[in-house]
A = this chain, B = another copy of it.
Amino acid sequence: MAGSSFGTIFKLVTFGESHGQVIGGIIEGVPSNIEIDLSMIQDELNKRKPGQSKITSPRKENDTVELLSGLMEGKTTGAPIGFTIKNQNQKSADYSHLKNTYRPSHADLTYEKKYGIRDYRGGGRSSARETACRVVAGAIAKQILKDTGITFTTYVNQIGPLKIDKLKNYSTEEIERNLCRCPDEQLASQMEDLILDVKSKGDTVGGCIQGIINNVPIGLGEPIFDKLNAELGKAMLSINAVKGFEIGSGFSASSMFGSEHNDTINSDLSTSTNNSGGVQGGISNGMPITYKVGFKPVATLMKDQKSIDKDGQEVTIQGKGRHDPCVLPRAVPIVEAMAAIVILDFFLRQKANSIN
């Protein structure tokens, strides 16, 4: 049953496979009369696109988005926004050797068994190429949220063993000034070296992304099941390669005592600490929403791996194609897009909580 939709009021549905003609989506529930800057959407897509630097996949794709509806003279009309992004530069031949084999830690086996049929070219529907559509919707969500003052800070805070220890609100400039999107320049330089080293060995490496959402008004998030942290967690866990999600203190809270973990409330309603990560009882409390997303290393290696074919026979899979040694730098705009979609959706849901 259907699972390609996300959101309750501001709703994204996506379609497309990595080696089809286009990928695309429809955004429903777009508030009307909002000016949309197409170039800003493209900027976000450019942060995600392959081939952007020496530490990403060498595949070249322009990832140019076309908005097909829902706009009139540059403004949203309230009608759904349909959009497409052309697939370019696919080399389906790179994948023909995978028609009958299942790659380790990929979705080849599970798609084939689930559906009884599989588009094996470039991962088909399971390819992370789909996330470009999320970036489009997220960029539009951010533009809609502009006047609310809500902003998003998202950066790489870990690659392999290299990690930033302290949570901080960095500027976009600080995040974007190196290829890793890690605002600690020194660490970023080490990360770059690590990625290049890993790449040279045909291997890959995982990492983490830290997100901070600022200026969220008190009151977003819907108890009981649709808590802000629960929807945000689902949003992040739906991104390819994500293995973990934390809000605020996260797993570190498990070894803490209540007397150290509780956030004392100040008279201006702020809290002196923010272990809650900006969410209490599933509802934003006005403090920055802080969350962390853990990614596994990319499953496609440029070295030989053992696996099996459709007949259960052992085979050796050779690393082919053009892949990322580390997805973290390209994942930053995806994580931020999902955060924006979640926040806008809750913003609109909260509006429907009152008759006035």
Contacts and interface: CB of A to CB of B under 8 A. Distances in A.
B282 A238 contact: yes
A59 interface: no
B264 A119 contact: no
Q: How many copies does the complex hold?
A: 4
A160 B130 CA distance: 40
A227 B223 contact: no
Nearest to A206: B254
A322 B171 CA distance: 46
Given A4-B224, A234-B233, A353-B1, A115 B255 contact: no
Which one of A26, A246, A263 has the greatest number of beta carbons of chain B within 10 Å? A26
A330 to B, nearest CB: 16
Interface size class of A (residues with CB under 8 A): 35 or more
Interface centre among A34, A158, A242, A284 (most CB of B within 10 A): A242
Interface stretch (A106-114, A176-184, A185-193): A106-114
Contacts of A297: 253, 256-258, 261
Contacts of A269: 109, 308, 312
A333 to B, nearest CB: 17
Given A117-B33, A244-B250, A355-B347, A68 B314 contact: no
A234 B247 CA distance: 12
Nearest to A248: B243
Given A32-B115, A259-B301, A250 B1 contact: no
Given A13-B28, A244-B245, A258-B298, 5 more contacts: A14-B26, A32-B115, A204-B259, A206-B257, A249-B296
